[in-house]
Structure formats: structure tokens, C-alpha cells
Structure 1
């Protein structure tokens, strides 16, 4: 599958490596193709480099790994995304009174805002619940890490489930896109434990069943 990654910070770069390892073709959607970081990532992953809109237009799946504060402008500049599967792995982070949190509560979500910006796209909320390191490679964990996903589109969810499995995750269906109101705070649980409670970044949630 051809996957466009828009935003090549820690998450986007990790997903580029993970998807290439899983056998997919990756195209990096960037504004500055000559940047040293872009060149290094492209070389290490054998990824193509294109403009954000060009990458999005050429791909089967688009991954949005943008800082939330820059997301709306960047997403609206991607052009016509009608019928495109869009993976939203962004958490709507904001500082409030000096404390890192979400900029919205349980009556809406970043994913639903995204759906208003690109109403014709097939949005799947996922890959927001663990750190970048384990998106790139989680093969050494003792249990398969769980990754929830939410979407209104069953076919898009099935396609993304296969991608998540290829990245080493156990994909679990959380329901329609409104369930992103649960998944974004759930992502904050990982952030809280990783950054503020001493767990570090090399861990993930797992769904362990009684045998």
C-alpha cells in the first residue's frame, strides 16, 4: 500500500520506518524537501519525497502526524481528499495554567474537528495511544500492544486494522468517530505515565485475556 505521511516529527518519522518495515511504500509530504532531516529519513526508509498536497493525492492512505496547533491550516492545504482513508494520530494537546492537557473535553474531539475540515475523507482515529518509539518497532515486547481505533467507515477501519497488525499492534475497534472522545484522553494516560510518572517511553498498553 502507498502511504503518505504528513508531518515528520517523532511520530511521523517512526511511522515511516514502521510502515516501510511492514512492506509498504511511503511518501513523505513536506514543505522543504531539501531539509537535512527529510533527506536522512528518505534515505533510511527509501521513501519518496513530495509536497504535502502531492503526497496526499498520490497515496492510498494518508497519515496525519502534525502538531495540533498547526493541523487545521496544514490539513486544509492538502487539497481534495474525497474518498481517501486518513489516519488521525494527533492528540489535541494544549498547555492550560502551565499544565499539559487536551484543549477539549468529552463532548467533542480533535478527530471530529478534523472531520469538519475534510468532510469527504474517511477518517480513522488511531495511533495516538503510545510513544513514537513503539510505533517504529515493538517486536521485543512480551505481549502484543493494543491499539484502539474509531471511525464511521467500516471498510476504512478494516484497512487500517491490517496496517496496525503489520506494525505489531493488536487492533481493537472502539466504535464510531465519536469514540475519539475516549481515545484522546486515553492517549493522555500514556503521556502522563511516560512523562510524569516515571514509566519512560518503552512501554505500551496490552489487552490480556484469561485463558
Structure 2
């Protein structure tokens, strides 16, 4: 299984740190030339591989960690995303419900990535929290996952476990997904909730 993080701002780098801690190799890409962020990637760890977007999208599982407004530009990198799982880490804060066609933002993202299996996840924590060691006081930091595809949600959950987090499934994008998405100038009820699960 191969992994990529598309977007290398604060959230993308926080995710890369989680991969580095767990010793799991991941490609990182932006719309910029990889040389422009290679030193930042190297500083995180040897398994963080800077790539061109056209190469990074060959991964099996991709974290979409760009600004919500940029998701369509990323989607153009492939004519079909069949067989790939996209973990949507975007937040559509400031985007009106009308602009979203009254859909959850992840449904709009899903439409752009033709054929992909989409999971909403890892987006409810701010970067400074997401980048921390997820094992806390004998428990594990929670990440919420929502998807209309049970197989994709399970796959994302297993990856979250491997990264040291405690995944909690919220159900479908139109139900649980609304709890972890921004719309207009409001945030879902679970956004910014830093919870620890004790086994």
C-alpha cells in the first residue's frame, strides 16, 4: 500500500510527522516544484519523499490536505481516480451552503475525484495538535472518519491506528460528515474537539 499527502502546508506537514513517527513512507506533493519544499520534507524524516504532483497521485491512498478551493485543481491530475482512496482533510470554512449546492463539502470533493472512494477525516484538529505524538497519558488521540464506503472507512481506520491514533467512525458523509465539516461561517460540532480514547 502506498501513501501520499497532497498539500504541504501546516496540516500536510503535521500528517507527514505522523508518518515519520510511525516509520511509514509517504510521498508529499504540492502544485509547486518538489525542490521548493524538499528541505522541509527532509527535516521531518527520511521516509518523507517529495514528488511532483503527477507522480504522487499514483499512490493508493491520498490525503487531500490543500485549501478547499484548490481541490478541483488537484482532481485534474488524473482523468479517473478509480481504485484510489482519498482522505479529505479540507475545511470549507467561508464557503456558503449555496456554493456547495447545499451538499456536505466532502460530497462536492467526492464529485471532483471521479471514481475515488472518499473518506472525510483528520480535519477536525488544528495542525499544532495533529502534529503531536497521538499517544497521550495511556490513551490515543481521536480522529473522526466519515464515509459512504465502508471498505474505504475501514482502510482509513486501519491507517489511523498504524499512525497511533484512535479512529472513530461517524457513519456516512451526509450524517456523520456534517459533524466534522465547516460550512459558511460555522463549524461542525466535533471540529476542534481534542479527545483521547482509553482502551
* TM score, norm. by length of structure 2: 0.83
The 2-side partners of 1:157 and 1:182 are apart by 16
Following superposition, the deviation at residue 81 of structure 1 comes to: 1.4
What is the root-mean-square deviation in Å for CA atoms of aligned residues?
2.5
- Residue 82 of structure 1 is matched in structure 2 by 82
Q: Decide which moves more: 5-14 or 66-75.
A: 66-75
The 1:115–1:166 alpha-carbon spacing in structure 2 relative to 1, beyond 3 Å, is: same
Q: Does 1:167 align with 2:163?
A: yes
Following superposition, the deviation at residue 158 of structure 1 comes to: 1.1
Gaps of 5+ in 1: 95-101, 191-202
Following superposition, the deviation at residue 43 of structure 1 comes to: 4.6
Number of aligned residue pairs: 188
Following superposition, the deviation at residue 9 of structure 1 comes to: 0.3
Gaps of 5+ in 2: 182-186
The 2-side partners of 1:18 and 1:187 are apart by 25
The 1-side partners of 2:17 and 2:145 are apart by 21
- Residue 204 of structure 1 is matched in structure 2 by 194
The 2-side partners of 1:174 and 1:16 are apart by 24
1:3 touches 1:61 (CA, 8 Å); kept in 2?
yes
* TM score, norm. by length of structure 1: 0.78
**Structure 1 segments of 4 or more deviating over 4 A?**
none
Following superposition, the deviation at residue 133 of structure 1 comes to: 2.5
Following superposition, the deviation at residue 68 of structure 1 comes to: 1.4
1:144 touches 1:206 (CA, 8 Å); kept in 2?
yes
Q: Does 1:178 align with 2:162?
A: no
The 2-side partners of 1:181 and 1:8 are apart by 25
